[in-house]
Structure 1
Amino acid sequence: MKRLLLLALGASALVACGGAEQGTPSAAPSSAVPATTAASPASVTPDPATVTEETQPQRTPPEEAGDLVPMGPPDAEPQCLDLASAQVTQAVDSLPLVFADSPWVATDMGDPCASFTWVEALPYGATVSSPTHLLFFHDAEYLGTATLEPYGFTSVAAQSADTVSVNYRWPLASDANANPTGGPVTIDYAWDGTQVTMSGTLPPEVTG
């Protein structure tokens, strides 16, 4: 009887052990984090009624052709002269002497900043009747004298942009040397763009 009881207990123990060894293991909890996809934000169309003028791009209207200012080369500055300018002194010094001890001296001039202008030259120590040269300049460049020979009682009557008018007088038989009454004859000297042209002819009373 005791043997049967022991056998029964041993069989029960074997069944219990076998069940534990052959049992199905339970699944371990997973530690992986499932991947998620970020949702794209939905596009929002603004309500036209809520868009103000400040948010609208400002456009500049095209300029009218009449409003455009033409851009050209700047105007050249005028070249001004004076009686002491190098161009004037060099031109006066180049004149042939009429008196050995009297060099030519620049004594008067026209508009110093005019494109076409003149300079008067007299011998040093000259009197009213002394021979006079008129020298012409264009853009500060010396061009030459009004006449080949200098003549007394010569004076400039008028000057314009391109013309110098010169009066020539001469003494009559009864005139005092300082107060001639002959004439005047007026000669125009004009700059034609390339040279000075003389309009008129000097009378023999002037040229001798």
Structure 2
Amino acid sequence: MRHRIKAAAAAAALVAGTVGAGIGTGQAAAAPVSANGSSSAACPQVPTARVNAAVRTLPPPFPGRNIPWRVSSKGSSMGCWLNWVQVYPEGATGSSPTHILLFDQNRYVKTATHRPTAFTHVVGSAWPGELTIAFRWLIGDDPTAHPRGHANVRYQLLPFIPPFPIDPIPPQVLR
């Protein structure tokens, strides 16, 4: 019994130390949180060379057409552990396909979905190493300016595990 209590206390201290790391010290704690909830103002941006290398791994947005991907926004989770970069095809509209590239402390890991999706953007970050991505989709005869389908999906980065969705990605998103 004594060992269980010690183990529980050690685990609680580890969690508190991880979540509280940087509070009151360092760059992440000192900077304000941006309007979308991420602390990208406090976190160093993913180096341009790494973003460009990651973008080059993506298939073209429209097969058979020579339209390049362009960075539209970037940021990071609270704590600066999980970085993201959103890319659109050059000349895109709101209904154009987009990818959100996920980086583990500036190391490219993967995209949020296996194929590009429309009506997608990062909403913010509520915890270190966690992002929330909003997915939208058309229902019936929805105009592209107002898709009714909507789901927020949280992505989590854990040590030695690539970012993964905590919430299910609705199948409508991937059609």
Q: Name the TM-score, length of structure 2 as normaliser.
A: 0.67
- 1:116 corresponds to which of 66, 76, 82: 82
1:134 aligns with 2:100: yes
Which amino acid is 1:102 matched to?
A: I
Which amino acid is 2:69 matched to?
A: W
1:157 aligns with 2:123: yes
1:81 aligns with 2:45: yes
- 2:110 corresponds to which of 134, 144, 149: 144
| Aligned-pair CA distance for 1:178 | 2.0
Provide the secondary structure at the position in 2 that maps to 1:91: helix
Provide closer, same or farther for how the CA distance between residues 180 and 77 of structure 1 changes in structure 2, counting only shifts above 3 A. Answer: closer
Partner of 1:175 in structure 2?
Answer: 142
Which amino acid is 1:173 matched to?
A: G
Unaligned runs of 5+ residues in structure 1 are: 1-74
- 2:60 corresponds to which of 82, 85, 97: 97
Provide closer, same or farther for how the CA distance between residues 110 and 179 of structure 1 changes in structure 2, counting only shifts above 3 A. Answer: same
Tell me, yes or no, if the aligned pair for 1:158 and 1:166 is still in contact at 8 Å: yes
| Aligned-pair CA distance for 1:148 | 0.6
Provide closer, same or farther for how the CA distance between residues 172 and 77 of structure 1 changes in structure 2, counting only shifts above 3 A. Answer: closer
Alpha-carbon distance between aligned partners in 2 of 1:156 and 1:81, rounded to the nearest angstrom: 16
- 1:166 corresponds to which of 108, 129, 133: 133
Provide the secondary structure at the position in 1 that maps to 2:52: helix
- With CA pairs under 8 Å and 6+ residues apart, which has the higher RCO, 1 or 2? 2
Q: Name the TM-score, length of structure 1 as normaliser.
A: 0.57
User: Relative to total residues, which structure has the larger strand share, 1 or 2?
Assistant: 2
Which amino acid is 1:133 matched to?
A: H
| Aligned-pair CA distance for 1:186 | 1.4
Which amino acid is 1:104 matched to?
A: W
Aligned residue runs from structure 1 range 36-75, under 5 A: none
Provide closer, same or farther for how the CA distance between residues 141 and 76 of structure 1 changes in structure 2, counting only shifts above 3 A. Answer: farther
Q: After TM superposition, which residue ranges in structure 1, 4 or more long, deviate above 6 angstroms?
A: 75-79
Tell me, yes or no, if the aligned pair for 1:134 and 1:146 is still in contact at 8 Å: yes
Unaligned runs of 5+ residues in structure 2 are: 1-24, 29-42
Tell me, yes or no, if the aligned pair for 1:89 and 1:106 is still in contact at 8 Å: no
Which amino acid is 1:198 matched to?
A: P
| Aligned-pair CA distance for 1:165 | 0.7
Matched residue pairs, number?
A: 132
Tell me, yes or no, if the aligned pair for 1:162 and 1:190 is still in contact at 8 Å: yes
Provide the secondary structure at the position in 2 that maps to 1:110: strand
CA-to-aligned-CA distance 1:143-180 (integer Å, 9 cap, x gap)? 11111111101111112321011111111223211221
Provide the secondary structure at the position in 2 that maps to 1:89: helix
Alpha-carbon distance between aligned partners in 1 of 2:92 and 2:157, rounded to the nearest angstrom: 29
| Aligned-pair CA distance for 1:76 | 9.6
